[in-house]
Amino acid sequence: MMGSGKTTVGKIIAEVLGYSFFDSDKLVEQSVGIPSVAEIFQVHSEAFFRDNESEVLRDLSSMHRLIVATGGGAVIRPINWSYMRKGLTIWLDVPLDALARRIAAVGTASRPLLHQESGDPYAKAYAKLTALFEQRMDSYANADARVSLENIALKQGHNDVNVLTPSAIAIEALLKMESFLTEKAMVRN
């Protein structure tokens, strides 16, 4: 989901593994020649953005040793899964109130699907995130591994996900990737 930490956590994982890091939203901006996703939605449309997002994911899918932070909505097009499945997919599952809090802290101007001119930013972001999540949760659940911030917090004895550092989340993601790959190898042998 938007603001779940894909870029922050993705960069740490890439560094640990010695892989390259790519952000698909940034690659779409570069290929379209418009400096922000919000402007691409405005000048063109969401559908235009989604077509370009699929092209970027297709191009990335033939590369090796990379971590990709996808756009939060990439999961909605089945064709994107055929590209993402060339690698291992991770769902960073962050409670919606934590997402809304992070997003409200920086404002919604860069997030066209959440933006509104008036009202309490936290309440509006929370309401829109809830609606988006309801539409998408089954798609996110297609990921090979789910990294749940609530579960990490429980393991660490906290009841507040906001105290979790990006490094702790990256470590959990690496452990989940290892388990997924181990199970896959056991099924093969």
Of 98, 66, 81, nearest to 2 (Cα)? 98
Looking at 63, 106, 123, 141, which residue binds ligand ATP (CB under 6 A)?
106
Residue that has been written with the tokens 């499945």 in this structure: 85
Pick one of 3, 4, 7, 132: the residue that binds Mg ion (CB under 5 A): 7
Instruction: Please state the closest distance from residue 107 (CB atom) to Mg ion, in A.
Output: 15
- Which residue's structure tokens are 């998408």? 136
Judged by beta carbon, residue 87 or residue 180, the one nearer ligand SKM is 87
124 counts as binding ligand ATP under rule CB under 6 A: no
Least gap, CB of 62 to ligand SKM (angstroms):
21
In whole angstroms, the minimum distance from the beta carbon of 183 to ligand SKM comes to 29
Q: Which stretch binds ligand ATP (CB under 6 A): 49-57, 73-81, 112-120, 160-168?
A: 160-168
Would you call 68 helix, strand, or coil by DSSP?
strand
Of 62-101, binders to ligand ATP (CB under 6 A) are: 69, 72
DSSP E strands in 117-180: the ranges are 145-148
Q: Which residues, other chains included, contact 133 with Cβ-Cβ below 8 Å and sequence gap of 6+? A: 1, 96
The answer to whether the CB of 129 falls within 8 A of the CB of 112 is no
Shortest approach of ligand ATP to residue 18 CB, angstroms?
20
Distance CA 73, CA 140 (A): 10
State how far the Cα of 44 lies from the Cα of 37, in Å rounded to an integer.
10
Query: Which of ligand SKM, ligand ATP, Mg ion, none does residue 56 bind to, with CB < 5 to 8 Å depending on kind?
Result: none
Question: Given the rule CB under 5 A, which residues bind Mg ion?
Answer: 6-7, 69
